[in-house]
Amino acid sequence: RKEVEQDPGPFNVPEGATVAFNCTYSNSASQSFFWYRQDCRKEPKLLMSVYSSGNEDGRFTAQLNRASQYISLLIRDSKLSDSATYLCVVKGGSYIPTFGRGTSLIVHP
């Protein structure tokens, strides 16, 4: 089982749709969780951290379920500019971040 698993997609949704991505991790000792965004042929950039109580940043909501070892990202009211690959990142005690392979999102008019 891979350390961090994501459905690669692509998720193809119309503008205005709500879309959710899940990510599962295998190391129960993992301590920190993040979502990064990577545009085509660009570098990854931090989208948001994921806190135990869940957190929201505008149209984006991230949640963590430690018992089931998964994190999620919900995007409401999708925009064309949300089209990108969303990378789940997990860090354990060694502080080495482990990246998922990413979930591709395509928002169409």
| Per-residue binding letters, 62-91, with another protein (x by CB under 8 A) | -----------------------x-x---x
- Candidates 38, 50, 41; CA nearest to 86 is 38
Alpha-carbon distance values, 99 to 21, 37, 64 (Å): 15, 11, 16
Q: How many residues can be counted in the chain?
A: 109
Counting contacts by CB under 8 A, is residue 107 touching another protein? no
Counting contacts by CB under 8 A, is residue 95 touching another protein? yes
Contact, 83 vs 106, CB < 8 A? yes
Tell me how far, at minimum, the Cβ of 96 lies from another protein, in Å: 6
Where do contacts with another protein occur on this chain (CB under 8 A)? 8, 32, 34, 36, 41-46, 49, 85, 87, 91, 95-97, 99, 101-102
